[in-house]
Chains A and B, each alone.
Chain A
Amino acid sequence: MNDFGEAFAAAFWLIATLDPDLYEIVLLSLRVSLTAVLLATLLGLPLGAAVALFRFPGRQVAAVLLNALMGLPPVVLGLIVFLLLSRAGPLGVLGLLFTPTAMIIAQTLLVLPIVAALCRQVVEDLWFEYEEQLRSLGCGPGRAIPALLWDGRFSLVTAVLAGFGRASAEVGAVMIVGGNIDHLTRVMTTAIALETSKGDLALALGLGLILLVLSLTVNGTAYLLRGAARASGL
């Protein structure tokens, strides 16, 4: 118990004194996860909307697949990306393995199904409600994509935040493709895993606290946004 208290005190000290090692890790985590979420959003919103609106063979399979991929274990995805990027793999020549870029790729693939699947649901519900009216106004599925993404904006922000939650919380994928190399590919979650096993509870706890605050902020934002949307009636 005493150890625990000391670790906490040390953790707060690291945070309060802006410990360079700690902040380097935090910044890299944010860079990797935010970039991945941005890419996944740019790809996932149109993808989800297209699956919702266009009638093509295999559409239902695509919808089920997206939903299933939401629960893909990060280590499995990490393994796949590892195989693709490793020297002998098809993309080995790029030399990306064990770089932040590899981690961004892995997390993008991890977040993409979440954004796309949630977006599909949002857009499909809106289309169900709007279809007759939009078609009456001369708006087919293609032109409806931007309109419905805009009308679903508040729900979609929640989807993107859920994606960010997944990216910032996962260990497996970044560990495998990044390698948890000090000062290079070490992020919050991999550092916590390592420091805990080494017994350096202060750094692990400090990072854990920051991660918790981050998660609370993200969820709080989502909650406030939804409240604001409901209050404004939009």
Chain B
Amino acid sequence: MSRTILPGGLQSVSFEAGGERLIEDLTLTFQPGPLSVILGPNGAGKSLTLRLAHGLLRPSSGKVFWTGGPDAIRHQAMVFQRPVLMRRTVAGNIDFGMKLQGWSRQERQRRRERVMTLTGLTHLAQRPARVLSAGEQQRLSLARAWAIRPQVLFLDEPTANLDPTASRAVETIVTAIHESGTKVVMTTHDLGQARRLGEEVFFLHRGKLVERGLAKRFFEQPKTALASAFLRGELIW
């Protein structure tokens, strides 16, 4: 593994689309270590924040920074709310990301078997990806992302479209990825999930960072009125 790209994050980033300011002067830093959860109601800008940090969107002003320079995206991966799978087999999908990293065939094969074991996909290796169930598809997205050993993995509501069993499987894998040393940054609107997985919380509201802190403290004693209202389940949009 090359040198670390952490810490990284956003510095006074704003993002506008269609004349509307969707992210406003947002500054947040991802440090190596804790599993970070970005929390907030619908429309808070959680997904936008991930996309900006990952480099899929360009900020209207401010800057996105990663230690170690501009090709940081090579050391990052992202799993989307709805899995985007290619019209290939499970193995072919996992292979694709590693090929782009320029890995040799043997290297790819070894890594592929490993992540398929870790995500319970081995028996599906030769199945076309797009006939899998929603849960299997999301596990495959995670496997594809994990395969390239990213330093940072962004997860955008990874269980939003899944039933409880499939969600649990995804959470188990996310925990394993985190324990393998990858920095995980995820958005969720599921408070239970945030409590189970989160070690650090960024709480967004209407494109602004309202509060950040260690998860335990945030859930027990939120500092802001907005956060406590959100935790009580009140509608705060």
**Across the two chains, which residue of chain A brings its CB closest to B89?**
A234
Q: Which residues of B contact A (CB under 8 A)?
A: 51, 54, 56, 73-74, 76-78, 80, 84, 86-89, 96-97, 100-101, 127-128, 130-131, 144, 148
A58 at the interface (CB under 8 A from B): no
Given contacts A136-B78, A137-B77, A138-B73, contact A233 B128 (CB under 8 A): yes
Chain A min CB distance to B103 (Å): 12
- A139 proximal to B (CB < 8 A): yes
Which residue, B87, B128, B148, has most C-beta atoms of chain A within 10 A? B87
Given A132-B56, A136-B56, A137-B77: A233 and B84 within 8 A (CB)? no
What separation, in Å, do the CA atoms of A232 and B144 have in the docked complex?
A: 21
Which residue from B54, B78, B89, B100 sits with its C-beta under 8 Å from A143? B100
Contact A137 B86, beta carbon cutoff 8 Å:
no
Point out the residue from B87, B89, B101 that lies within 8 Å of A151, measured CB to CB.
Answer: B87
> What's the minimum C-beta distance from B51 to chain A, rounded to whole angstroms?
8
Contact with B along A122-158 (1 / 0, CB 8 A): 0000000110110111110001000100111000000
Are B74 and A234 in contact (CB-based, < 8 A)?
A: no
Residue of A nearest to B73 (CB): A138
* A130 (CB) vs chain B CBs: closest residue: B84
Residue of B nearest to A143 (CB): B100
> Nearest Cβ distance between residue B101 and chain A, in whole angstroms?
7
Closest to B130 in A: A233
Which A residues are closer than 8 A to B by beta carbons?
Answer: 129-130, 132-133, 135-139, 143, 147, 150-152, 232-234
Interchain Cβ contacts under 8 Å between A and B, 11 examples:
A130-B84, A130-B86, A132-B80, A136-B78, A137-B100, A138-B74, A143-B100, A147-B96, A152-B87, A233-B128, A234-B130
Q: Could you tell me the dominant secondary structure of chain B's interface residues?
A: mixed
A-B CB pair tally, cutoff 8 Å: 47
Q: Known A-B contacts: A136-B73, A137-B77, A234-B128. Give 18 more (CB < 8 A).
A: A130-B84, A130-B86, A132-B51, A132-B56, A132-B78, A133-B80, A136-B54, A136-B78, A137-B97, A137-B148, A143-B100, A150-B88, A232-B128, A233-B128, A233-B130, A233-B131, A234-B88, A234-B89
Chain B nearest CB, measured from A125 CB (Å): 12
* Nearest CB in chain B to that of A229: its residue: B87
- Supposing A151-B86, A233-B131, A234-B130 touch, asked if A135 and B101 sit within 8 A by C-beta, the answer is no
Which partner residue on chain B sits nearest A139 by CB separation? B100
Q: For the complex, give the distance between the alpha carbons of A139 and B101 in Å.
A: 10
Complex CA gap A130/B56 in Å reads 13
Q: Which residues of B contact A151 (CB under 8 A)?
A: 86-88
In the bound assembly, the distance between CA atoms of A138 and B55 in angstroms comes to 11
Q: How far is the CB of A140 from chain B (nearest CB, A)?
A: 10
| B74 vs chain A, min Cβ distance (A) | 6
